[in-house]
């Protein structure tokens, strides 16, 4: 087995006992008087790429934050791997790349160091990277096609490269669940294809991905399942089941994004 194989071990049957990776029940999240999520029900099965689709302000980022335990539910519940999200975070089972990753351009940290942060939760008492940690970091960099950029400052990467660096950090961490809030925003078609292929290969080895995106044309190639959100989940299913006028109209407040239907017209 190559070092890469051992460093980034595939996830074997993450939820063999049938527990969904994500289970959200009747979740309400409010910011003061503004109810961002109202009665969200969502179950996510392992080993698939799940898309989260909705218009601006529909609650996508709020849902990601709720899954990470970063916003407090007004009511309802969130479970990751059948337990409190804090457990999954503590054990490094979930990684989150926020929509607006705050990176100061002058932040004196290399791409390799950012990826190595994924290992911090596992370090021994000396808090030093061991050979297996370094192996995992190099394997994650390679997997995300960042080896050549590993010594650059994180602030000196393009938006698309930076998104990949945060995926690599989650990979080095060994996360089984990756939560990616708009990894394609401001990313060109080539980087989008690179990220899509990467996410597909991660799912093929048993990891679970939840990814929000506004690129509805790219969704069928990326996602096995979609959840359409408009402060609650209005539809969940395969792209064929959900990219239809009625659920799209409900998700987008009566406005049906026609690009999502082009496939149907072409078929
Ligand atoms: N920190 C906050 N304080 C108050 N209101 C907020 C806060 N964050 C989000 N909101 C509101 O909650 C609602 C949902 O916002 P959220 O960021 O979850 O939407 P989104 O689907 O991620 O949108 P976008 O596609 O623009 O990223 C919006 O009405 C937004 O204005
Ligand atoms: Mg958002």
CATH assignment of the domain containing 220:
3.40.50.300
Supply the mean pLDDT for the chain. 88
Q: Which residue has the tokens 């590993």?
A: 150
| Cβ-contact 252, 92 below 8 angstroms | no
Q: What is the mean pLDDT of residues 170-179?
A: 95
Q: Which of 74, 63, 97 is nearest to 168 (CA)?
A: 97
pLDDT of residue 28 exceeding 60:
yes
Over range 115-131, report the average pLDDT.
85
| Separation of CA 116 and ligand 2 centre (Å) | 26
| Residue-number span of the structural domain to which 90 is assigned | 3-266
What Cα–Cα distance (Å) separates residue 235 from each residue in 25, 114, 139, 190, 250? 15, 36, 37, 30, 9
Best-predicted range by mean pLDDT among 3-12, 173-182, 187-196, 212-221?
A: 173-182
For ligand 1, the distance from its centroid to the CA atom of residue 259, given in whole angstroms, is 24
Which sign, positive or negative, has the C-alpha torsion 156, 161, 166, 169?
A: negative
Residue 48 burial by Cβ neighbours in a 10 Å radius (0-12, 13-18, 19+)? middle
Q: What is the pLDDT of residue 1?
A: 41
pLDDT of residue 33: 94
Locus of tokens 């990979």: 171
Query: Residue 67 C-alpha to ligand 1 middle, in angstroms?
Result: 15
CA distance 55 to 252: 6
Task: Categorize the per-residue pLDDT at 222 as very low, low, confident or very high, splitting at 50, 70 and 90.
Answer: very high
Quickly list H helices, 71-174: 85-90, 111-116, 131-143, 159-173
**Is the pLDDT confidence value at 96 over 90?**
yes
Please state the rounded mean pLDDT for residues 62-83. 96
Pairwise CA distance, residues 184 & 99, whole Å:
10
Say whether pTM exceeds 0.85: yes
Total Cβ atoms within 10 A of residue 177? 23
Cα(24)–Cα(54) distance, rounded to whole angstroms? 17
- Residue 33 CA, ligand 2 centroid: distance in Å: 19
What integer pLDDT is reported at residue 17 of this predicted model?
A: 67
Residues with C-beta atoms within 5 A of ion ligand 2: 60-61, 99
Question: Which protein residue has the closest C-alpha to ligand 1 atom 29?
Answer: 57
Task: Please tell me if the CB atom of residue 70 comes closer than 6 angstroms to any atom of ligand 1.
Answer: no
The whole-number pLDDT of residue 5 equals 44
Q: Which has the minimum average pLDDT: 45-54, 181-190, 228-237?
A: 181-190
Best probe residue, ligand 1, of 29, 31, 98, 211 (max atoms within 8 Å of C-beta): 31
The confidence score (pLDDT) of residue 261 equals: 74
**31 CB within 6 A, ligand 1:** yes
Number of domains in the chain: 1
Only one residue has tokens 């089972």, namely: 93
Question: What percent of the chain shows pLDDT beyond 90?
Answer: 67
């Amino acid at each position: 087995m190559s070092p890469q194989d051992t460093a980034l071990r595939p996830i074997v049957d993450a939820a063999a006992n049938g527990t969904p990776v994500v289970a959200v029940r009747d979740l309400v999240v409010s910011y003061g008087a503004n109810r961002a999520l109202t009665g969200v029900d969502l179950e996510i099965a392992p080993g698939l790429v799940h898309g989260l689709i909705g218009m601006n302000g529909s609650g996508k980022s709020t849902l990601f934050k709720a899954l990470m335990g970063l916003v407090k539910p007004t009511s309802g519940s969130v479970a990751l791997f059948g337990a409190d999200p804090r457990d999954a975070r503590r054990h490094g089972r979930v990684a989150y790349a926020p929509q607006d990753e705050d990176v100061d351009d002058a932040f004196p940290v290399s791409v390799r160091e950012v990826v190595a942060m994924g290992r911090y939760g596992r370090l021994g008492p000396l808090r030093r990277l061991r050979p297996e940690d370094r192996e995992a970091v190099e394997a994650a960099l390679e997997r995300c096609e960042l080896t050549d950029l590993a010594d650059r400052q994180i602030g000196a990467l393009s938006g698309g490269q930076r998104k990949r660096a945060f995926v690599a950090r989650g990979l080095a961490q060994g996360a089984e669940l990756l939560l990616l809030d708009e990894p394609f925003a401001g990313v060109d078609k080539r980087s989008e294809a690179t990220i899509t292929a990467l996410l597909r290969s991660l799912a093929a080895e048993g990891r679970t991905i939840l990814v929000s995106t506004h690129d509805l044309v790219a969704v069928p190639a990326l996602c096995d399942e979609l959840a359409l959100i408009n402060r609650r989940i209005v539809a969940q299913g395969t792209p064929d089941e959900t990219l239809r006028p009625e659920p799209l109209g409900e998700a987008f407040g009566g406005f049906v994004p026609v690009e999502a239907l082009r496939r149907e017209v072409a078929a």
